[in-house]
Structure 1
Amino acid sequence: MFQTFAATSSPDQGPPRLAALRRVMAEKGFDVFLVPRADAHQGEYVAPRDARLEWLTGFSGSAGFCAVMQDRAGIFIDGRYRLQVRQQVAQDFTPVHWPETQLSDWLQEHCNAGATIAYDQWLHTATQIADLRADCPKLNFEASENLVDLIWDDQPAAPDAPFIVHPIEYAGESHDAKRRRLAESLEADAAVITLPDSIAWLLNIRGSDIERNPVPQAFAILHETGNVDLFAHESKTTEIATDLSDGVTILPPETFLDHLRGLKQRVLIDKGTCPDAVASTLKAAGLTVIHGQDPCILPKARKNEVEIAGARAAHERDAVAMVRFLAWLDREAPSNKLTEIDVVKALEGFRRDTNALRDISFETICGAGPHGAIVHYRVTENTNRAVKTGELLLVDSGGQYIDGTTDITRTIAVGDAGEEERACYTRVLQGMIAVSRIRFPKGVGGQHLDALARAPLWLAGQDYDHGTGHGVGSYLSVHEGPQGISRRSETALEPGMILSNEPGYYREGAFGIRIENLIVVTEAPTRAGADDRTMYAFDTLTYVPFDRRLICVDLLTEAERGWIDRYHADTLALLAPRLDDATASWLETACAPL
């Protein structure tokens, strides 16, 4: 089914909803109420029922939060959303640049000593609340029922879709083996797991509780024996019950807190992802809480051979759809009859023609002209713009297939592009190539590699306000931690980790450029004369041509030109046999040597 394009909230709805929230706050004696974009499972994406931030403010970005007082309402957003937020929220909400301005600093600036800050303890992690208490000793933080829920009369129902089994031919390891493997190194009597993608990976199950992300909303407890308690409604677990029968006990979600209170002495939680409600319950029960990483996080990030093979197959299938789309776009765009919505629908149609698409992996970003400068732009009926000759078109999209998750961005010239746009595009491409070609020692994290992608832009006095790359799941979330390529990515990169490689450049009111491939960490071949140390490299998963019309060949080094020509030759050899004659001919031209 094609995605819809109606905005779920508009700026004019924000002020009356904000006024209603403030009335409830006054009745309860709260000076501040915190409204995060989060749910009880602390995943990145939320179901419509949990889209409280968007309902209240109109802001639809994937990260952010609002702090509501009687005389002000700060909406905290990062660099990806600073253009978008101004278009989506009323003036009653004040955008706050985050993380440059921390919530604790903002609260201390605007609140009197003794002020009460209320929060829903299911929607904030243990770390977030502990840090706020430590950083704001003169303020009172009080757990509360969710005040937005009290005023949201037509709040959607909770997701109730059934979970499904993820077959071992795609998972590569049984859930029995995973549970035993993790239990052997647990160093606790039990571990509480709240992230939906962690539970999905551990038990080899998938769900549809979150749009575009095949994850099941549930809670789980992994015991030192390798047994797991899974807390989910019976109506959601009928299809998986037989597969999980040995070693997994399915229990009603309303019994979750009672089971936490009944655990043995030493309980592991990941305070960075665990809801404060869980941490508070364990503490109140007198249990010893051990703080450590979710035991599924790193094993899930290190894809096994079966998962990597599946990723390659999914990307090849997806590339065929992308090439068919790009050939179509080249034919149709010069007519000036296309809109952004037309482009999005056409691209999804080409993916569905594979007969393998389970869903798109996120809402397609399709920004024509100045809309391309809005990093996470989502077209609606109200914002839909014509695709015009002489402008750039940025398309960031992906697919969910049972064997892998894809994510790709291409920036396309519609007609002739200006010299400035071509120069900026080439710098972005140079940064992507630098990351693609790098070899690095074991132990290096993404923060060490981020500057490689930015260096060509920095030399021109330019930059972009987002990370260079994020982790990607295996028929799971398109954004997966802990691996990444950014200034904050401290996790050492290891073989099997899949990441995006997506530098960009954005000029407000004019154009946006981003180029993205997915890459997988591999062991690098030994070179003559090299030190006796383990070296890693990246292997490219995405093979779709770049727009040669936007490449300033004179700006490239010989090595960069060689890399592009080899990439295009490999793309042509891989995809041409799977295309009709007309599309194969288009691809041959698109992949011609520089």
Structure 2
Amino acid sequence: MGLFSGFSLSNSFIGNGFYLFQALRMAPKITTELLRQLRQTMKTSQSITEPIQAYIVPSGDAHQSEYIAPCDCRREYISGFNGSAGTAIVTEQSAAMWTDGRYFLQAAQQMDSNWTLMKMGLKETPTQEDWLISMLPEGARVGVDPFIIQTDQWKSMALALKNAGHLLVPIQENLIDAIWSNRPERPCQLLITLELSYTGLFNLRGSDVEYNPVFFAYAMVGTDTIRRTQCYLSPYTPVCLAKAVKNAREVEGMRRAHVKDAVALCEFFNWLEKEIQKDTVTEIMASDKAEDLRSQQEDFVSLSFATISSSGPDAAIIHYKPVPETNRKLSVGEIFLLDSGAQYKDGTTDVTRTVHFGTPTDYEKECFTYVLKGHIAVSAAVFPNGIKEPGYYEDGAFGIRIENLVLVVPAATKYNFRDRGSLTFEPITLVPIQTKMINVDLLTQKEGLIELLPALGLCTSKIQPDYQPMGSQLTSEMSSLLGAEGETHRVSPTGGTFCIQGWHTDRKDRTGVL
């Protein structure tokens, strides 16, 4: 089955270390007055026929987008928590926030004592439905903006509340908007029409949402006629599948984008290796430099998300974004994690690399290597047709993450059970992984030897032709990632994204040796 789908490998886990608690560096938002205003609106809003006893504030917008415009950041406004995932529920006496493990630390820092953090995935954490039922008075009404709650969430919530004697009701006026003074205006930027050399549903791009080439709109895609005049939207649309399956031109564009991105990041890490010795580089400076180098690449449009530039303990906050109040200096004695990406006309990138420009401890190398092993295992997986980036985070210590973008491609297997076919991953991220962080003794033979592809050789052969015209040698730019020159060690496999432990600079073919 010739399906190509691009996405990011993601299966993070959280490490619990015995470290002294780090003082909170993010000042929480004081929400006492906002909650008072919201609770008053729950009783008196003209858009409700009778008072409601609880109000649900989801994360998304009317398009169920992960990334939203400032005017739609309602959950952040009422709570102070600005992570990309979470649901707030406010009752007459309590306020609670549900979010996943990526944001436990961040949410705890950004919310004040008015809020209870509900850590999703933990056995002791109640579901939203169970918590509401335990908190509500008899025969309560629970309100939510019907435009920003997912259909399946509405159905499950409505059923659970009904069975407990309560009622979920749609509130046409968003109650957060009703109390939001100086709410940002909805963006309405100019549309950009792309040439036919690019491919897309409409070949239109916008900038209504930061870091995303989209604009506010709804589309109806039909054949020749509307099958039933009373049907405005079908329950399921084939357009989503068509957009998920990448055609040859889209795949070509994705590959080009990742070559450009790898060039920019190799330059960045080379710059950082030198500048960090001066003890002047901050998280924000590093973030700005990475953006500057990307912007010099052909067809650069913007970043694809806010750069996560995190040093030392900040790297344990999974979606940390440096601000002046939290901006740390980078140090040769600490881990540095950069999670970043860009929008190019021909593709979008998202890559994470974790590096150390001093001497990593044995424990840091052990943690890094286990993350790498997880990444290799996922990258090399072969799975039946039709059926998460590894990470490790210790509060107050450090965080480690490795992230590549991949294509889902058909896999050649010995057997073909029921003619279903099998799929595997083809990494398209070409940014090297720093090998000084690897404890090779922890790698198995399959993880440590070239068995799938000539890992580094494939990586550099794709980058080198585009890199040389920029006036620098690839080896000098990659020196900070590839370890000491002249050494030969084991290498790791999977699609040109894992690098030699040591590097032969005199080898013209740039392939690894044992």
The TM-score with structure 2 as length reference comes to 0.81
Q: Which of the numbers 472, 475, 483 marks the counterpart of 1:581?
A: 472
Partner of 1:88: 110
- What's the CA shift for 1:538? 1.6
Map of 1:123 onto structure 2: 148
Summarize deviations over 1:511-561 as a string: whole Å, max 9, x none.
Answer: 10000111101122455x877842322212011111111000111122222
2:391 is matched with 504
Query: Does the aligned pair in 2 maintain the 1:572–1:588 contact within 8 Å?
Result: no
The alignment status of 1:48 with 2:75, answered yes or no, reads no
Query: Structure 1 residues 372, 563: CA separation in 2 closer, same or farther (over 3 Å shift)?
Result: farther
**Matched AA of 1:324:** E
Please tell me whether residue 17 in structure 1 is matched to residue 34 in structure 2: yes
Cα 1:226/1:264, change in 2 over 3 Å: closer
1:103-154 alpha-carbon deviations (Å, 9 max, x no partner): 1111101111211111111111232222211111111222221111111120
CA distance in 1, matches of 2:479, 2:315: 28
Residues in 2 aligned to 1:523 and 1:311: alpha-carbon distance in whole angstroms: 18
2:219 corresponds in structure 1 to 220
Residue of 94, 101, 123 corresponding to 2:126? 101
Looking at structure 2, the residues matched to 380 and 101 of structure 1 have their Cα atoms a distance apart, in angstroms, of 33
Amino acid at match of 1:15: T
Q: Distance in 2 between matches of 1:307 and 1:587?
A: 28
Alpha-carbon deviation of 1:584?
3.1
1:181-196 to structure 2, matched below 5 A, reads: none
CA–CA distance in structure 2, aligned partners of residues 165 and 120 of structure 1: 33
Specify the SS of the correspondent of 1:149.
helix
| Structure 2 Cα separation of the partners of residues 530 and 122 of structure 1 | 44
Residue type of the alignment partner of 1:153: S
Structure 2 counterpart of 1:127, one-letter code? D
Look up the equivalent residue of 2:75 and give its one-letter code. L
TM-score calculated relative to the size of structure 1? 0.71
Which letter maps to 1:111?
Answer: L
What corresponds to 2:17 in structure 1?
Answer: none
Output aligned runs, 1:58-73, within 5 Å: 58-73=80-95
Question: What corresponds to 2:229 in structure 1?
Answer: 264
| Residue correspondence of structure 1 range 379-458 to structure 2 within 5 A | 379-443=322-386, 445=387
- Give distance in 2, aligned partners of 1:294 and 1:365: 34
Match for 1:335 among 278, 284, 287?
278
- The 1-side partners of 2:225 and 2:248 are apart by 24
Q: Letter of the aligned partner of 1:52 in structure 2?
A: R
Question: How far apart, CA to CA, are the structure 2 residues paired with 1:24 and 1:124?
Answer: 20
The equivalent position to 1:149 in structure 2, one of 158, 162, 177, is: 177
Residue 445 (structure 2) pairs with residue 558 (structure 1): yes
Q: Larger deviation: 161-170 or 30-39? A: 161-170
Q: Which has more helix, going by share of residues?
A: 1
Q: Residue 140 and residue 404 in structure 1: after superposition, are their counterparts in 2 closer, same or farther (change >3 A)?
A: same
> Counterpart amino acid of 1:43?
S
Is 1:139 equivalent to 2:138 in the alignment?
A: no
Instruction: Report if aligned partners of 1:333, 1:387 keep a CA contact under 8 Å in 2.
Output: yes
Task: Pick from 379, 400, 404 the counterpart of residue 513 of structure 1.
Answer: 400
Shift of residue 93 of structure 1?
1.2
The alpha-carbon deviation at position 203 of structure 1 amounts to 2.6
Worse overlay, 333-342 or 544-553: 333-342
Deviation digits for residues 157-208 of structure 1, max 9, x if unmatched? Answer: 111112222333221xxxxxxxxxxxxxxxxxxxxxxxxxxxxx53332211
CA distance in 2 between counterparts of 1:563 and 1:153 reads 60
Match of 1:110 in 2: 135
Q: CA deviation at 1:427?
A: 0.8
How far apart are the structure 1 equivalents of 2:295 and 2:203?
Answer: 25
Please list, as runs of the form range in 1=range in 2, the aligned pairs for 1:465-480 lying within 5 A after superposition: 468=388
Q: What's the offset of the Cα at 1:421?
A: 0.8
- Give, in whole Å, the separation in 2 of the partners of 1:226 and 1:265: 13
> Where do residues 326-365 of structure 1 align in structure 2 (5 Å cutoff)?
326-365=269-308
Distance 1:134 1:317, change over 3 A: same
Q: Do residues 570 (structure 1) and 458 (structure 2) align?
A: yes
User: Per-residue displacement from partner, 1:362-402 (whole Å, max 9, x unpaired)?
Assistant: 00111111111111111111111111222111110001001
Shift of 1:575: 2.1
Match of 1:476 in 2: none
Give the CA RMSD over aligned residues: 2.3
Distance 1:223 1:587 in 2: 50
2:333/2:356 contact within 8 Å kept: yes
Q: Which amino acid aligns with 1:106?
A: W
Aligned-partner SS, 2:409: strand
**Within 1, Cα distance between the matches of 2:32 and 2:272?**
41
Give the secondary-structure state (helix, strand or coil) at the position aligned to 1:76: strand
Instruction: State the 1:590 CA deviation.
Output: 3.8
8 Å contact from structure 2 (residues 270, 480) kept in 1: no
SS in 2 for 1:16: helix
Q: How does 1:485-504 map to 2 (within 5 A)?
A: 502-504=389-391
Alpha-carbon distance between aligned partners in 1 of 2:294 and 2:426, rounded to the nearest angstrom: 24
Q: Specify the code of the residue in structure 1 equivalent to 2:441.
A: D
Partner Cα separation in structure 1 for residue 103 and residue 237 of structure 2? 29
Structure 1 counterpart of 2:221, one-letter code: L
Amino acid at match of 1:64: G
Which letter maps to 2:159? A
Instruction: Report the Cα offset of residue 266 of structure 1.
Output: 4.2
Between 556-565 and 107-116, report the one with greater CA deviation. Answer: 556-565
Which of 360, 377, 390 is the aligned partner of 2:320? 377
Higher mean C-alpha deviation, range 41-50 or range 15-24 = 15-24
Aligned partner of residue 416 in structure 1, secondary structure: coil
Are 1:433 and 1:563, in contact at CA under 8 Å, matched by a contact in 2?
A: no
Q: Any conservation in 1 of the 2:262–2:430 contact (CA below 8 Å)?
A: yes
Shift of 1:294: 3.2
Unaligned runs of 5+ in 1: 1-8, 172-200, 229-262, 270-290, 446-467, 469-501
Q: 1:154 to 1:589 in 2, by over 3 A?
A: closer
Structure 2: how far apart are the matches of 1:583 and 1:412?
A: 18
**Counterpart AA for 1:88:** Q
Residue aligned with 1:349, SS: helix
Offset at 1:223? Answer: 3.6
Q: Distance in 2 between matches of 1:532 and 1:33?
A: 49
Aligned residues: 444
Q: Distance in 1 between matches of 2:287 and 2:380?
A: 31
Report the CA distance between 1:589 and its aligned residue.
Answer: 7.1
1:211 corresponding residue in structure 2: 210
SS in structure 2 of the partner of residue 346 of structure 1: helix
- Does the CA contact (< 8 Å) of 2:220 and 2:233 recur in 1? no
Q: Distance in 1 between matches of 2:105 and 2:276?
A: 26
1:504 partner letter:
G
